[in-house]
Amino acid sequence: MPKNSTIKIALLLLGAIILGALLREAMFKVAAKKTTTSYVPALQINGDIKNPLTLLDEAEFDSVDFEYKGERKRGIPLASIIQSTEPITEKHEILFIGEDGLSALIDGSNLDGCHILLSENGWEAINLLHPVSSNVKRLKEIIIIAPDAPLNFGVNIISQTENLAYFTPGQLYKETGVQMPYFEGTSTVTNDGGQNSVSIFTRRQLYPLRDLVDFSEAEQFVVMGAKGETLYTSDPGFLQVNKNFLNYFSLDRENEIIENVKGFMIAPPSRSITDLYHDTLHYLQRDEKVLLLFLDGFGYHQYEYAKENGYIPFLSTLPQAEKALSVYQPVTNAGFAAMITGKTPDENGVYSRDQMDLKTPSIFAMAKQLGKESALIEGHIKILNTEIEPVLNIDLNGDGKNEDEIYSTALEYVKDANYDLIMVHFHSIDDAGHSYGDLHENTMEQLKVVDGYVRDLVEAWKGKVIILADHGMHSTEDAGNHGEFRYEDLIVPYIIAEGGRIE
């Protein structure tokens, strides 16, 4: 073989070896780069919003090009991200939180020039028209804070007579919390006759209620959750932010965790609307007849106002009403169910207007077991599915109301000696409260009409009488409403009296 050919072959082989080495190195670098960039940290968008968001990929939103420090960059307009989460109020603040705890707070009313992008610094906030200190690298969370959020969104702290304080998930981020180890459990494995155990803890950011509100003189609290969970406790415990709602943790960190807690009442009344079931059963077991007068939407503050201003002349002659605690949600289905089952909504299954079926027996079932005859006098629709069918009443005389028909039917049943238990559900106080307001003169005048109906029924009944409401009513800009964790909605009158038959 010619010498030149040998040299050429040698050079080709050497070149191939060098090229292979370079290719392997390049492939290793590419693989290494893929390995180091394949993990994308999650960016959480939480707070006072309807739709919490976990951002994992820039492709989830349309990106735009912009220039920053002489470089062309591409990122997601912050406004489009915030809009997709549906903040609960138009006016809000934006809090950026980095992995190292560095945080920046800006006004959310003008987000022009604000971008979120994924870079070598992880998720990054670049705000072109804000001070440079608002640009946070390695973003972990974006929190939307509504300073003037509606009361039905977060957690309310109330007493029997006052709405004391209010916190939303977003607002809590501006308060002082504590990092606490929270015991989750212990697991044990056996190997070769020996055992190894591990205890699991999670570190949680908790907010002690005693640091948020002055509870110095309070000895008892009641805590309620969105599904009607009700916990009586001697210590208020802690709050924890969970995306767009708050969780409750008891002080001992072992007993109760209530997800989506709605409120705390300081020094709640000793009575509850669930007492109706137990009091009625007690009287029936003693062979006493019981008349239950259910005044829908009649709060204790309305009772006091009406009594002071002469709107309830008959009710004012009866024993002073006791304060009774309703349930969350303070709406008719939930309150009605709690009254007749003696159970809170998380137990009886009715915690909003959407449920009608009871998971626990009602007082009508217990009356039947005792061989007692029962009747339920209702308006024009059935509210709950109970063990007896309600006697429905429509507007027969065309006056636009069926309250007079309810009264007439109830009076017939009350005068029938065959019934041991009768429940009469009057609706017009609630209707007037929604239309005019809780303390409006028109609402009070309708209360006076119902007071007259109550007088006739009580005087025609020979036996025990229990008068109470399912919930109260609070004032709004337009008229009145209920369903929130506030004292006006949750504190109702509870009266036990003796009936007397008219001769």
Strand partners, 221: 233, 266
CATH number, domain 271-498, options 3.60.21.10, 3.30.70.360, 3.40.720.10, 3.20.20.140: 3.40.720.10
Nearest to 96 by CA among 123, 125, 119, 68: 125
Q: Which residues of 355-377 are buried (b: 16+ CB within 10 A; e: fewer)?
A: beebeebbbbbbbbeeebebbbb
Nearest to 46 by CA among 7, 9, 88, 6: 88
The whole-number pLDDT of residue 94 equals 98
How much of the chain exceeds pLDDT 70, in percent? Answer: 91
The whole-number pLDDT of residue 14 equals 55
Spell out the domain ranges in the chain: 43-145, 155-266, 271-498
Structure-token match 């050919």, residue found:
5
Q: Is there a contact between 263 and 485 (Cβ–Cβ < 8 Å)? A: yes
Element (H, E) at 35: helix 3-37
Q: Where do the DSSP E strands lie in 7-63?
A: 43-47, 53-55
The whole-number pLDDT of residue 369 equals 97
SS (H, E, C) 151-216: CCCCEEEECCCCEEEEECHHHHCCCCCEEEEEEEEEEEEEECCEEEEEEEEEEEEEEEHHHHCCCC
The whole-number pLDDT of residue 180 equals 79
**CATH superfamily name and code, 43-145:** Oxidoreductase, molybdopterin-binding domain (3.90.420.10)
Q: Residue 163 is encoded by which pair of tokens? A: 């709405």
Low-confidence ranges of the chain (pLDDT < 50): 1, 27-37, 502-503
183-192: long-range contacts at Cβ-Cβ below 8 A with a sequence spacing of 24 or more?
183/253, 183/254
Q: Is there a contact between 471 and 482 (Cβ–Cβ < 8 Å)? A: yes
Per-residue pLDDT of 46-64, as tens digits, reads 999 999 999 998 889 999 9
The whole-number pLDDT of residue 28 equals 43
The pTM for the full model equals 0.87
- Cα–Cα distance between 121 and 43 in angstroms, integer? 13
Do the two domains 43-145 and 271-498 of this chain adopt the same fold?
A: no
- Cα–Cα distance between 333 and 415 in angstroms, integer? 28
Q: Residue 161 is encoded by which pair of tokens? A: 């007579």
Pairing of strands 322-325, 53-55: unpaired
- Cα–Cα distance between 185 and 162 in angstroms, integer? 40
